Amino acid sequence: SGMINFAQNNIANGAAGIQWHQDFYDAIKTPQTCSSVGYQSISSRIEAESFCGMQGIQTEPTADTGGGQNVGWIEVGDWLEYNINVPAAGNYTLNYRVASTGNTGQLQLIAPSGTLAPTTIPNTSVWQNWSSVSTTVSLSAGQQKIRLYASGAAFNFNWFQLSPASTTSSSSPQSSSSVPA
């Protein structure tokens, strides 16, 4: 807050020849939290940009099917939080929609019960060439805050979805690719 106050009071936008970009303010502000935000149903896709708390991420327009925004410029230690409502305890298939130009990306789902499902992000060759990656997680019922933590860097993230897992599914991550039309 000290840097923001300094910038606003001493080198504010509009000063001769100086224009601060919003990313400057975003980079130095206190992380957002989910304390007073409603809970999203997991019965539908949850867009990456619909987080209620975050640290270190940025958004950009996506070329993925459906348009909108994706989260990008992800570095190790960045995170996104979502308030979700899980209708029943059990195993759920977790699908992420991701893109990357390398093999360094990794997301961890952190739930109230602890860290679940570290998922490696595949190399899709281009930042906007989207792929779906799946794994199975066990969640408790009810309203809860989950965190998607970047334990590996350099990928884009567009959305995630949780759906009841079939009884024959495996708990190992699986990947499938598709390119937007």
* Least confident stretch, 20-24, 121-125, 153-157: 20-24
Predicted confidence at residue 170, as pLDDT, reads: 44
> Using alpha carbons only, what angle is made at residue 101 by residues 124 and 73, rounded to the nearest 5 degrees?
120
Q: Is residue 28's pLDDT more than 50?
A: yes
The span from the CA of 112 to the CA of 110, in Å, is 7
Q: Is residue 6's pLDDT more than 70?
A: no
pLDDT tens digits, 83-125: 999 999 999 999 999 999 999 999 999 998 888 889 999 999 9
Neighbours of 72 (CB within 10 A): 19
Residue 78 and residue 105 in contact, taking contact as beta carbons nearer than 8 Å: no
Give residues with Cβ within 8 angstroms of 73, minimum separation 6.
Answer: 57, 58
Predicted confidence at residue 103, as pLDDT, reads: 92
Predicted confidence at residue 177, as pLDDT, reads: 41
Q: Is residue 179's pLDDT more than 50?
A: no
- Match 């860097």 to its residue by tokens: 153
Predicted confidence at residue 134, as pLDDT, reads: 95
Q: Is residue 143's pLDDT more than 90?
A: yes
The CA-based dihedral angle spanning residues 102, 45, 134, 153, taken in that order and rounded to the nearest 10 degrees: 30
pLDDT tens digits, 48-62: 999 999 998 899 999
Q: Is residue 154's pLDDT more than 90?
A: yes
The span from the CA of 92 to the CA of 139, in Å, is 7
The CA-based dihedral angle spanning residues 57, 63, 66, 71, taken in that order and rounded to the nearest 10 degrees: -10
Q: What is the mean pLDDT of the chain?
A: 82
H or E stretch covering 27: helix 22-28
